[in-house]
Amino acid sequence: MAFREDEDTLGTVKVPKDAHYGPQTQRSILNFDICRKTDLMPMEVIKSLVLLKLCASKINKSKGRLAQKEQEAIESACEEVLMNKHNHEFPLVIWQTGSGTQTNMNVNEVISSVANTKLGKDKGSKAPVHPNDHVNCGQSSNDIIPSAINVAVVISCIEYLLPKVTYLRDSLKKKQGEFENFVKIGRTHLQDAVPMTFGQELSGYIDQIDQNLDYIRGHLAHISRLALGGTAVGTGLNSFTGFDVEVCTELTELVLSRWRKGTAFFEAFNEQFLISCSNKLEFSPAINKFAALAGHDALLVFSGMLQSLATAFLKMASDFTLLASGPRCGFSEIILPANEPGSSIMPGKVNPTQCESMSMVAVQVMGNHQSVAIGASRGILELNVFKPLIASNLIHSIKLLADSAHSFAQHCVLDMQVNETKMREYTERSLMLVTALSPKIGYEKSAQLAKWAEANGKSLREAVAEFKFISLEQYDEIVNPKEMTLGGE
């Protein structure tokens, strides 16, 4: 590989000749060779940095801080990065400086070099567009990195978390309608309880998802408040009054204008969903820049919401696993799609693989949340120095939940069937049907019937015939499993 000699404030560094990145990026590559194949800074954060720098360049030009030629070159370079033309130029891992300074300089160096090549200069040139003086104008790593993390989280949520989880929710809703009249026995403490419909059971999962979607949607406004303009410690030194407001306004319009066309920055799962969100977003400056640099409370709360969604997913996946257990020696109330052979030794075995996958995703998201919580607590004096860790775990959790929701809907929910025979058998055998008799004959007599039936291996109807607390005709009128699912006496 051919190298060029490049300089920064510490001296000379050998940089790959064909690279747009420069000496500060190269130093980070050499100094932090930690899990390079797996733990790169998420491209969502890189692209969000680029978006912010593009908007900042426009505002800086309008204030005379950037010449038109420089700004146009920066904008063109930013557009190329957003179009994925330079993804290989961002090789840094999250295990670097806790402020993310090296990633900020990686982006500054690449934009500067790409801009300068458009102006006829060599790769790695720092003139006429300089990485610090022009691309980073009015910014510090300490305010631009947390701003980029927030932007990345907001856009990721709207472009793929919300639509993919909504797709799962709608898939469950479809099956709820399909199975609304299938009566089954409910269970509490894993013991027989009173009847319900499978549609009612599915409605619980749907509402849990709906609640978590509402939490997330409602919280995006808090994450949309950016640290930009605080610069090094929150005072705004080397920026100017109004810079934060103008950049946020420019950023909002840039993002929404793209969404109005159904075009994503990261991933377009549902173009119509993007269009529907094109009037529901506004980036604004953080109310207190000192808190925005040193703490990440909004991100921590959001991470907790992701954990809450993961909890709902884990419950649903675990329940589906239990209800599908069998096929002959388990509950066997539902039939999940046979997607793969289940065993290398037991022929014909099929496992609930989508449920297991979703369960592992949920546990990983819970683990990610613990890392975010600890990282968010590391705001020493004026700066939190766990920013790359927080960013990586949040983006990871968003992607895991989004992809898992889509996979579970596609390969489990939509092709799920019920075993009506088993549901009816369990319902008819359940002694907890006696609950419907309690208002008529009282709790103690009802318990006496259930205990006798269980001890003697008899049905509840046979127990009624034995004790004669009511007639069999009355029993048949009162103990109607379908009617019992409607509530009341």
Q: Integer distance in angstroms from the first to the last C-alpha of the chain? A: 82
Question: Looking at 257, 343, 377, 471, which residue is catalytic?
Answer: 343
Neighbours of 480 (CB within 10 A): 14
DSSP reduced 3-state for 311: helix
For the four alpha carbons of 424, 320, 310 and 255, in that order, the dihedral sign comes to negative
Taking the C-alpha atoms of residue 126 and residue 3, their distance in angstroms, rounded to an integer, is 17
* φ/ψ of residue 426, rounded to 5: -65, -40
Cα separation values, 181 from 176, 192, 227, 250, Å: 9, 20, 53, 53
Q: Looking at 189, 359, 369, 446, which residue is catalytic?
A: 189
For residue 311, give Cα distances in angstroms to 129, 142, 186, 292. 49, 33, 21, 29
Q: Residue 194 CB: number of other CB atoms within 10 A? A: 18
420 alpha-carbon distance from chain centroid: 35
343 is catalytic: yes
Place of tokens 């489990």: 412
- Which of 9, 5, 28, 34 is closest to 17 using CA atoms? 5
Token pair for 400: 């895991």
Annotation says 222 is catalytic? no
Residues with Cβ within 8 Å of residue 135, at least 6 apart in sequence: 53, 57, 74, 107, 108, 111, 112, 115, 129
In angstroms, rounded to a whole number, what is the distance separating the alpha carbons of residues 15 and 25?
9
Alpha-carbon radius of gyration of the chain: 30
Q: Cα separation of 120 and 42, whole Å?
A: 31
Burial 214-249 (b: 16+ CB within 10 A, else e): ebbeebbeebbbbbbbbbbbbebeebeeebbebbbe
Residue positions annotated with a catalytic role: 189, 343
